[in-house]
């Protein structure tokens, strides 16, 4: 019963020889995990999507056709003019106009500088609810759950936050604002908890139930906004303005709407990262998501973890709603969310369900959406081009084969540990 | 006499690996030629070259003396070469006839299928070779053993003279396997030549005319069964001395660890599958449960480990009533479980080795502190276990899904054995593994027994049960029909019990067989 003699080296020796980089810090691991997701394809998908959107802008512009009627060369120059105008408006709308920024800095007037930079900050404001909601869906994806109900959870979160902001009085801002935010998150959590419990206890599919909870949330918001939460001084269904103490503080004077919600979102992205990859709870959640059989075998509770996961996901979406109410609108009307909850599914996909990826994807969407406003005003390009760009980017992300073919990229390299197995895999290929 | 088939210097390279390295092979007419080798030795690559699925980088093939280089399976088929793959290529909702015709249809005028003529032909083939296949039966209603014969008929229907069978016994019960070998004998007597690929030593010694052993893509030698024995073949396969016969010390039986009383378990469809089992396992002994797959052993194991709950009866582990306990409570008592399906239950395939090694201890110190995973400790644990359990991997961060089956199983064994355990449930612990890994795992199981651990071993491999167990319980139809001491028990006796036969005889085909 002797241990088998190793010819070359034992695995242990091999391991020791592998140069192990000094303990990588959390951030490099963070970055590495993102880049492993064939980052090149993602970037190329974004570039291609933007190009395609520009192309659609060109072919849907009347003046291009008229110019082509006149002459071919004139047509082309008009086409390029439209293309240029589209992208420059998109850029200046989302980042600000370089000449204005330069002039403002030269003048040294704070208010002018503030105004010059406000497009950039407005883009961040637009990105903030995306980050919250994107994290919500990404957390679900990571643990094998499809939370289609982010939109409803956003509504409930907003309702809960507006309740806390309008019905609680007399608290100092340092308590009231976080409390209102927290209550908003709690509202969303309840909206995630219900389908979570249904799934865990009865096996009811969470895709159906989170979606159905959306409709309940929409009707609930209409009921409350025409009832107890309605501002009696207004004719249409809209809530009263929340107490100033509950406002998420804005950092710059108007018209700059940049508020602390953005930092809360970034903090949460980091916390979600820690939760998923560094805690025992996250380990359980991911195990249940990857392989529920193995999770059960290892003694983990599927019921408990499913409920926790959907509640946390709901809470994140609820924070998106609370953030909008407390940071931007300061009151709540019906149909206040412009589909953040549905876009968030796309964001989670675009960001590979990784918190950092979600943040980057949310910034992209926020900047695009903000830039689109100016594009419409200045270049006369309808704002819907943005939806086409977003859709094209997502289609390319979902079908990386297209991008690989267009740019002649190589297939991702399979890293198979065992040479024996790699031959076996090959043998099985035909 | 020219051989029907000759391979000369066949070489096939894949990036980084030479799968076949100058392989020579001769197949005589009417010969049953076993191709023996571990998983990944290059057997299947070689046969795929012969079948036209790969083209070799070097080398020549001769069929009946004529050079032959197949470019596709249809070239191989027209040269009289047919192959039965390990996983059958049959359409379950089609009849035998339809399946056999598929790709080579008999048609009447106007493109209408001539099922009758095909069925007649199949009946004739079936009679000629004693295959007992009903051409009108649906595949989904046919047992696995018969399905395999349908695959063989497919080849005979296309008039193949050279039959390649890839791991033909992997899916069969011992009885079905014996019948297959009878059929192979018939076929060879009628002039067909057969190559069968396997890693089971007993089979090649009993049923082949010539054995060629392949290791690491090279031919290690070609022998007749008379010249070889199991240990010699195993050494040729693995490249070092293998101790297949385990001499274990007599069991030092201690306290009662597992007690099962009148256990009844129903499956998901609410059919009673465990019908009143009584069993005791003591410290320091291995109790083997022998039986054909699908006789309730899966449910028995799942109930003992808390993954299922019984309809009635009582389970006691180390004096604690665990009849309705959760898996975690049972693990906490000191129970380890090597699950039947390692990829489904035992591992999270996308996870690295590190995480798989803490799958059921992740919440305990030193792996967790205050709810946070302690990565340095987890990595240290992985490095230690990888080296002490000889897990072959490029790194501890490698996803287990990319490891070979043997190494995956070692990850499970390492995880389960590295915590203090008093009771081990091992279900099919060596299924699909190569000889080297089987030897390793067997020795580890015996080691645990000698340390005083109670072991409940469930296996459909009779050899394994007989080698390792101190007592053997035979399970049939949800009942343990007999428990007998391993010493003195014969294979024939247990084989008959496994078929549910105590005194009266029954045909093997009438027993329940579950696929996969």
Residue A63 binned pLDDT confidence (cut-offs 50, 70, 90):
confident
ipTM tops the 0.90 cut? no
Measured in angstroms, the CA of A173 and the nearest CA of chain B are apart by 32
Contact A1 B443 (CB under 8 A): yes
Contact A15 B48 (CB under 8 A): no
- The residue in chain A having the minimum alpha-carbon distance to the alpha carbon of residue B52 is A430
Q: Which pLDDT score is estimated for B335?
A: 95
In a mutagenesis test of the A interface, which of B12, B15, B18, B19 is the best target, namely the one with the most A β-carbons within 10 Å? Answer: B19
Distances (CA, A) of A2 to B83, B326, B388: 40, 38, 13
Using a CB-CB distance cutoff of 8 angstroms, which residues of chain B are in contact with residue A294?
A: 344-348, 359
Neighbours of A373 (CB within 10 A): 18
Locate B95 and state its tokens: 């009849």
Neighbours of A72 (CB within 10 A): 9
**Alpha-helix runs per DSSP H in A291-383:** 292-297, 302-323, 340-350, 355-374
Measured in angstroms, the CA of A270 and the nearest CA of chain B are apart by 15
Neighbours of B450 (CB within 10 A): 13
Least CB–CB distance from B373: residue in A278, A417, A421: A278
Q: With beta carbons less than 8 A apart as the criterion, state whether B177 and B15 touch.
A: no
What does pLDDT average to over chain A? 84
Residue A339 has pLDDT above 90, yes or no: no
Using a CB-CB distance cutoff of 8 angstroms, which residues of chain A are in contact with residue B368?
A: 280
Contact A12 B383 (CB under 8 A): yes
Residues from A in contact with B at Cβ < 8 Å: 1, 3-5, 10-12, 14-15, 18, 23, 278-281, 283-284, 287, 290-291, 293-294, 296-301, 415-424, 426-427, 430
Start-to-end CA span in chain A (Å)? 41
In a mutagenesis test of the A interface, which of B395, B416, B433, B445 is the best target, namely the one with the most A β-carbons within 10 Å? Answer: B395
Contact A3 B390 (CB under 8 A): yes
Locate B255 and state its tokens: 């306290």
**pLDDT 10s digits, A362-406:** 999 999 989 988 888 887 888 888 888 888 988 888 887 788 788
- The residue in chain A having the minimum alpha-carbon distance to the alpha carbon of residue B346 is A294
- The residue in chain A having the minimum alpha-carbon distance to the alpha carbon of residue B14 is A423
Q: Which pLDDT score is estimated for B232?
A: 86
**Strands across the sheet with B286-290, in order?**
B335-338, B423-427, B454-459, B286-290, B471-476, B479-485
Q: With beta carbons less than 8 A apart as the criterion, state whether B357 and B382 touch.
A: yes
Element containing residue B143 per DSSP (H, E): none
Distances (CA, A) of B443 to A271, B243, B365, B383: 46, 10, 30, 22
User: Please, is B452 exposed, middle or buried when counting C-beta atoms within 10 Å of its C-beta (0-12, 13-18, 19+)?
Assistant: middle
Using a CB-CB distance cutoff of 8 angstroms, which residues of chain A are in contact with residue B425?
A: none
Using a CB-CB distance cutoff of 8 angstroms, which residues of chain A are in contact with residue B354?
A: none
**Buried b / exposed e along A165-185 (16+ C-beta atoms within 10 A):** bbebeebeeeebbebbbbbbb
Q: Which pLDDT score is estimated for B294?
A: 79
Q: Which pLDDT score is estimated for B313?
A: 94
Least CB–CB distance from A4: residue in B19, B240, B305: B240
- Closest-CA residue to B434 (of B238, B233, B290, B245): B238
Measured in angstroms, the CA of B505 and the nearest CA of chain A are apart by 40
Using a CB-CB distance cutoff of 8 angstroms, which residues of chain B are in contact with residue A279?
A: 371-373
Least CB–CB distance from B391: residue in A11, A287, A299: A11
Least CB–CB distance from A287: residue in B39, B243, B348: B348
Using a CB-CB distance cutoff of 8 angstroms, which residues of chain A are in contact with residue B307?
A: 296-297
In a mutagenesis test of the B interface, which of A26, A418, A424 is the best target, namely the one with the most B β-carbons within 10 Å? Answer: A418
Q: With beta carbons less than 8 A apart as the criterion, state whether A133 and A347 touch.
A: yes
Residue numbers of chain B with a pLDDT score lower than 70: 1, 171, 242-244, 502-516
Contact B403 A418 (CB under 8 A): yes
- The residue in chain B having the minimum alpha-carbon distance to the alpha carbon of residue A424 is B40
- Closest-CA residue to A124 (of A275, A272, A261): A261
Q: Which pLDDT score is estimated for A233?
A: 87
DSSP for B291-331?
--TTSSHHHHHHHHTTSS--SEEEEEETTEE-TT--HHHHH
**Alpha-helix runs per DSSP H in B245-404:** 297-304, 327-332, 353-356, 375-388
Contact B344 A293 (CB under 8 A): yes
Contacts for B20 with CB less than 8 Å, ≥ 6 apart? B10, B11, B12, B42, B45, B46, B49, B56, B217
Least CB–CB distance from A279: residue in B48, B350, B372: B372
User: Please, is A276 exposed, middle or buried when counting C-beta atoms within 10 Å of its C-beta (0-12, 13-18, 19+)?
Assistant: buried
Higher pLDDT, B204 or A137: A137
Q: Which pLDDT score is estimated for A29?
A: 58
Start-to-end CA span in chain B (Å)? 42
Q: Which pLDDT score is estimated for B295?
A: 87
Q: Which pLDDT score is estimated for B504?
A: 43
**Alpha-helix runs per DSSP H in A143-172:** 150-167
* β-strand partners of B260: B279, B315
Separation between Cα atoms, residue B85 and residue B33, nearest integer Å: 17
Contacts for B398 with CB less than 8 Å, ≥ 6 apart? A417, B352, B353
Contact B373 A280 (CB under 8 A): yes
Task: Report percent pLDDT > 70 for chain A.
Answer: 86
Q: Give the three-state DSSP class for A418.
A: coil
CA A349 to chain centre: 9
Rg (CA), chain A: 25
Using a CB-CB distance cutoff of 8 angstroms, which residues of chain B are in contact with residue A427?
A: 19, 44-45, 48
Neighbours of A197 (CB within 10 A): 17
Distances (CA, A) of B473 to A429, B297, B330: 41, 11, 23
Using a CB-CB distance cutoff of 8 angstroms, which residues of chain A are in contact with residue B398?
A: 417
Using a CB-CB distance cutoff of 8 angstroms, which residues of chain A are in contact with residue B436?
A: 4
Separation between Cα atoms, residue A11 and residue A18, nearest integer Å: 11
Using a CB-CB distance cutoff of 8 angstroms, which residues of chain A are in contact with residue B53?
A: 430
Locate B458 and state its tokens: 């469930």
Q: What is the mean pLDDT of residues A239-245?
A: 89
**pLDDT 10s digits, B405-436:** 788 999 999 999 998 999 999 999 988 777 77
């Amino acid at each position: 019963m002797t241990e088998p003699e190793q010819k070359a080296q034992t695995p242990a020796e091999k391991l020791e020889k592998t140069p192990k980089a000094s303990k990588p810090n959390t951030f490099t691991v963070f970055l590495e995990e993102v880049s492993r997701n064939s980052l090149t394809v993602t970037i190329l998908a974004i570039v291609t999507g933007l190009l395609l959107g520009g192309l659609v802008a060109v072919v849907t512009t009347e003046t291009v056709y008229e110019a082509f009627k006149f002459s071919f060369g004139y047509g082309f120059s008009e086409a390029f003019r439209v293309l240029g105008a589209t992208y420059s408006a998109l850029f200046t709308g989302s980042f600000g106009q370089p000449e204005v920024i330069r002039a403002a800095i030269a003048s040294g007037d704070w208010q002018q500088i503030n105004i010059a930079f406000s497009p950039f900050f407005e883009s961040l404001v637009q990105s903030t609810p995306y980050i919250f909601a994107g994290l919500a869906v990404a957390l679900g994806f990571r643990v094998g759950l499809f939370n289609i109900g982010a939109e409803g959870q956003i509504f409930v979160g907003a309702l809960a936050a507006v309740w806390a902001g309008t019905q609680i009085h007399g608290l100092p801002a340092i308590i009231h604002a976080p409390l209102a935010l927290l209550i908003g998150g709690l509202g969303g959590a309840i909206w995630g908890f219900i389908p979570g419990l249904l799934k865990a206890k009865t096996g009811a599919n969470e895709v159906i139930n989170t979606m159905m909870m959306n409709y309940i949330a929409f009707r609930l918001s209409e009921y409350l906004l025409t009832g107890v939460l309605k501002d009696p001084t207004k004719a249409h269904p809209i809530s009263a303005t929340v107490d100033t103490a509950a406002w998420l503080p804005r950092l710059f004077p108007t018209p700059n709407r940049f508020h602390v919600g953005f930092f809360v979102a970034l903090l949460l992205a980091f916390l979600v990262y820690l939760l998923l990859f560094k805690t025992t709870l996250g380990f359980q959640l991911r195990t249940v998501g990857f392989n529920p059989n193995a999770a059960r075998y290892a003694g983990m509770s599927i019921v408990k973890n499913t409920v926790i996961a959907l509640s946390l996901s709901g809470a994140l979406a609820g924070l998106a709603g609370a953030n909008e109410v407390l940071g931007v609108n300061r009151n709540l009307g019906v149909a206040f969310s412009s589909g953040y909850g549905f876009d968030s599914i796309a964001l989670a996909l675009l960001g590979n369900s990784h918190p950092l990826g979600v943040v980057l994807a949310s910034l992209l969407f926020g900047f695009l959406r903000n830039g689109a406003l100016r594009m419409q005003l200045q270049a006369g390009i309808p704002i819907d081009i943005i939806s086409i760009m977003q859709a094209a980017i997502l289609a390319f992300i979902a079908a990386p084969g297209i991008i690989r073919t267009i740019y002649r990229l190589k297939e991702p390299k399979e890293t198979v540990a065992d040479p024996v197995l790699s031959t076996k895999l090959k043998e099985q290929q035909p | 006499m020219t051989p029907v088939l000759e391979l000369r210097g066949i070489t096939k390279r894949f990036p980084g690996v030479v799968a076949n390295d100058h392989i020579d092979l001769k197949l005589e007419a009417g010969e049953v030629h076993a191709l023996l080798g571990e998983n990944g030795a290059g057997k299947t690559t070689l046969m795929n070259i012969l079948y036209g699925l790969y083209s070799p980088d070097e080398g020549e093939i001769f069929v009946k003396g004529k050079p032959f280089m197949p470019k596709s399976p249809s070239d191989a088929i027209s040269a009289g070469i047919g192959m039965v793959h390990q996983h059958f290529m049959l359409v379950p909702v089609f009849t035998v006839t339809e399946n056999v015709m598929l790709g080579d249809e008999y048609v009447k005028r106007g493109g209408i299928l001539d099922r009758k003529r095909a069925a007649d032909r199949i009946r004739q083939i079936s009679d000629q070779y004693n295959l007992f296949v009903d051409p009108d039966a649906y595949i989904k209603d046919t047992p696995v053993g018969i399905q395999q014969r349908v695959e063989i008929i497919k080849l005979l229907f296309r008039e193949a003279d050279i039959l390649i069978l890839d791991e033909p016994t992997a899916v069969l019960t011992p009885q079905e396997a014996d019948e297959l070998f009878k059929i192979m004998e018939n076929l060879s007597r009628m002039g067909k030549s057969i190559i069968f690929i396997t890693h089971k030593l007993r089979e090649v010694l009993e049923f082949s005319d010539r054995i060629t052993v392949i290791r690491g893509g090279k031919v290690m030698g070609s022998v007749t069964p008379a010249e070889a024995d199991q240990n010699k073949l195993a050494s040729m396969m693995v490249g070092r001395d293998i101790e297949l016969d385990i001499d274990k010390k007599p069991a030092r039986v201690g306290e009662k660890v597992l007690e099962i009383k009148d256990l009844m378990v129903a499956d998901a469809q609410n059919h009673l599958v465990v019908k009143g089992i009584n069993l005791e396992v003591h410290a320091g002994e291995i109790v083997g449960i022998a039986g054909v797959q699908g006789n309730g052993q899966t449910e028995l194991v799942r109930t003992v480990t808390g993954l299922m709950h019984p309809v009635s009866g009582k389970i006691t582990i180390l004096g604690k009533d665990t009849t309705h306990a959760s898996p975690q409570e049972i693990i906490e008592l000191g129970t380890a479980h090597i699950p039947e399906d390692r990829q489904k239950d035992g591992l999270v395939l996308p996870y690295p080795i590190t995480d798989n090694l803490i799958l059921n201890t992740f919440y305990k110190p030193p792996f967790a502190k205050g709810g946070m995973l302690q990565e340095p400790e987890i990595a240290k644990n992985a490095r230690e276990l990888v080296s002490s359990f000889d897990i072959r991997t490029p790194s501890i961060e490698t996803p287990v899904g990319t490891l070979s089956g043997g190494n995956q199983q070692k990850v499970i064994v390492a995880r389960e054995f590295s915590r203090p355990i008093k009771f081990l449930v091992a279900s099919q612990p060596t299924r699909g593994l190569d000889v080297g890994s089987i030897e390793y795992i067997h020795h580890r199981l015996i080691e645990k027994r000698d340390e005083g651990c109670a072991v409940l071993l469930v296996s459909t491999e009779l050899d394994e049960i007989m080698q390792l167990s101190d007592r053997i319980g035979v399970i049939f139809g949800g009942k343990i029909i007999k428990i007998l001491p391993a010493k003195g028990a014969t294979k024939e006796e247990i084989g008959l019990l496994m078929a549910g036969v105590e005194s009266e005889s029954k045909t093997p085909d009438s027993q329940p067989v579950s696929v996969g």
